[in-house]
Amino acid sequence: MKNFLISSNQFFYSRRDLGLLIFRLGIGCMFMWHGFPKVFGGEHKWIEVGQAMGTLGIHFAPAFWGLLAGCAEFFGGLLFAVGLFYRLTCFWLIGNMSIAFISQMLEGKGMLKAAQSVEDGFSFLGALFLGPGKYSMDYYLGLVTIEDKPTVKLL
């Protein structure tokens, strides 16, 4: 059993950049899918989304806030998927998910509705520490370096 665990750990560890690519593409594309109708839905949709800021006491310019939230999801998802300006994008998406969570809780929608925002926020927080991997635009542009030595070994 120990040998199986060690060999499977080595197998997956040696392919961690592929795992990061799959993660980035999956989450990034889903965020683009969620953000598309918000960005391209026009001013009516922007106002509808932006009114959530009212729960935080921000009642001015709901169209601006709605468009900003839609752009965070659509363009943030795109940047996340391709791994460009990765850590900055993670911060942007963490902020967006934090506002979504807070507004959903203050509107009384409960944790069942707000759970997705929390889950996504924690995914971006973890991604912030992991980095984009070598199959990313940041790597190809020289904006990140990749350490090839494992830092954790299975005992």
Q: pLDDT band at 56, cuts 50/70/90? A: confident
In a domain, 51, yes or no: yes
Q: How many domains, in total, are found in the chain?
A: 1
Residue pair 46/39 in contact by the 8 Å Cβ criterion: no
DSSP 53: G
In a domain, 5, yes or no: no
- Helix/strand/coil percent split, the chain, to 5: 75, 0, 25
Say how many CA atoms lie within 13 Å of 118 toward its Cβ. 9
Q: Dihedral of the CA atoms 19, 24, 30, 31 (nearest 10)?
A: 160
In a domain, 149, yes or no: no
Classify residue 11 by burial, with Cβ atoms within 10 Å: 0-12, 13-18, 19+.
Answer: exposed
The two structure tokens encoding residue 55: 């729960």
Residue pair 136/83 in contact by the 8 Å Cβ criterion: yes
- Taking CA atoms, 113 is separated from 41, 102, 109, 152, in Å, by 23, 11, 6, 36
In a domain, 145, yes or no: no
In a domain, 35, yes or no: yes
In a domain, 78, yes or no: yes
pLDDT reading at 87 higher than 70: yes
In a domain, 146, yes or no: no
pLDDT reading at 94 higher than 60: yes
Has this prediction a pTM greater than 0.95? no
- The per-residue pLDDT for range 118-152, each reduced to its tens digit, is 999 999 999 999 999 999 999 999 998 876 544 55
The residues, any chain, with a CB within 8 Å of residue 23's CB and separated by 6 or more, are 127
- The whole-number pLDDT of residue 153 equals 55
The parent domain of residue 59 ranges over 17-140
